[in-house]
Each structure stands twice: as structure tokens, then as C-alpha cells.
Amino acid sequence: MIRQLFFPGLLETGQVHDGIFAIRDGFVNLYILQTAGGLICIDTGWNLKRVCHGFETLGFRTQDVTAVYLTHLHWDHARNLNLFSKADIFIGEHELLRNTPKWLKLSSKPFTKVHDNQELTANNIPVRALETPGHTIGSVSYLVENRFLFTGDVLRLRCGEALPFYFYFNLNHQGVIHSIHKLSKLEGIQCLLTAHTGLTCNVADSFRRWRESAPTGSLPKGHPS
């Protein structure tokens, strides 16, 4: 009941788009991109047994993951780092400025810090890092192949519309609003994928009211908070 109330649209484990798969880890989804050079993950989930079962269900192997792009360091998104022993780990450069959580200190994986608009490549697939702070100090969204936008907890979807993530989970709610305005200006996005509320391939409608409003520091007129 609580999961359905706060996180509607969670995806079941399986293929959700061409070459993109989701694993449902309780109340969060992590995403896997299947490429010719191996697998790419957006976040890692938190429950080891569920994520391993998800990989088995999909017919994938965790050792074939070559890159993990973390949207932020909350435990439900990054606790399974050690599961991907052969992967390079990417994280926003400002996300590591805060005190390291105890569970993260147990990780043996080094991080590669990314900055805003940095162009990256994994398995010959272009990935662009976009700083979208607010939920955490260094949250990052990732634009893959200039058409798939992974937003982590920057926003949530309700009936296909982009809304700020719940304010009581955000470090800086005003920053979240600014970040959504930033994302709404991107062109050519075919699919928007969130961590807790599913995805939409009708991205223009999702951001319509954000694009129609001018101030980047405020909610669109008539928009629920």
C-alpha cells in the first residue's frame, strides 16, 4: 500500500525498452543497458538477493557489467556496488563532498568523478552526465545515446507528468525544481526513466508545463508541488 501510494509506476523486472531492462528491487528500479561490449547499469539497487535474482531472471551476469553510473549515493541506489567487481563506477563530483556513509566505506570500488555536461563513453555508447542537484548535493542524471534520460530521484512521474521528487526526501527542494527546468529544455529525448515511478516515452507532455514557464526557480503555474 505505501509503495503504491508513494512510488506508483514501479516497473517489474524485465525489458522496458529496446536494449533497456529494469530490475525491481523492492521500491526502486535499477536499469541495465545491453550493448555489444557488455552491460551498463544505472544505479545498483540495495538488496543483494533481489538484484542477483533479477540478473538471473534476465539471463545476465553481474561480471559482464562494465560501467555503473550512479545517480547519487543514497543506500537504495548504491548499496550493491561490490556486486559489480569488473565495472568502472561513475558519480557526480559534488556527491562525494559530504560525509561518506558507513555502508559505503565497506566498498572497495574506486570512483570516477563526473562533472556537468561531461561526455563519457561506455562500450562505445555515448553517455552525457548532467548535474541535477537538489535531492542530494551532487545528484546526476544521465543522457544515453542522446535519447534515453535516466533521472534517479530528481523527479517523479504522476500520470505521465514530471513532478519534483517528494520534498521531505530532498536536501534542497528549490534545487530540485531548478534541475527539472534544466532537464525540460533537452531536445530529442525518446524515453525518460525514473528510479521509483517508472518511465514515459511521451517526454514532451511530461515536461510541457515546465517548458511553458519562464522562471527556473519556481514551479510552473498551476503545477502541484
With respect to residue 179, please indicate whether it lies within any of the assigned structural domains: yes
Q: Which domain holds residue 155?
A: 2-212
pLDDT digits (tens, 9 = 90+) for 117-133: 999 999 999 999 999 99
Distance CA(218)–CA(77), nearest Å, equals: 28
Domains contained in the chain, number: 1
103 in Cβ contact with 11 (< 8 Å): no
| pLDDT on residue 149 | 98
With respect to residue 6, please indicate whether it lies within any of the assigned structural domains: yes
With respect to residue 88, please indicate whether it lies within any of the assigned structural domains: yes
Distance CA(122)–CA(11), nearest Å, equals: 25
With respect to residue 221, please indicate whether it lies within any of the assigned structural domains: no
| pLDDT on residue 220 | 66
Instruction: Tell if the pTM clears 0.85, that is, is over it.
Output: yes
Q: Which three cell numbers stand for residue 55?
A: 540478473
Q: How many CA atoms lie within 13 A of 128 on its CB side?
A: 11
**Please, what is the average pLDDT of the chain?**
91
With respect to residue 110, please indicate whether it lies within any of the assigned structural domains: yes
CATH number (domain holding residue 202): 3.60.15.10
Tell whether the model's pLDDT for residue 63 goes beyond 60: yes
Residue predicted with more confidence, 162 or 8:
162
With respect to residue 104, please indicate whether it lies within any of the assigned structural domains: yes
Cα 25 versus chain centre, distance: 14
With respect to residue 186, please indicate whether it lies within any of the assigned structural domains: yes
Distance CA(125)–CA(102), nearest Å, equals: 33
52 in Cβ contact with 63 (< 8 Å): no
Q: Which residue has the cell 548532467?
A: 130
Distance CA(202)–CA(212), nearest Å, equals: 16
With respect to residue 222, please indicate whether it lies within any of the assigned structural domains: no
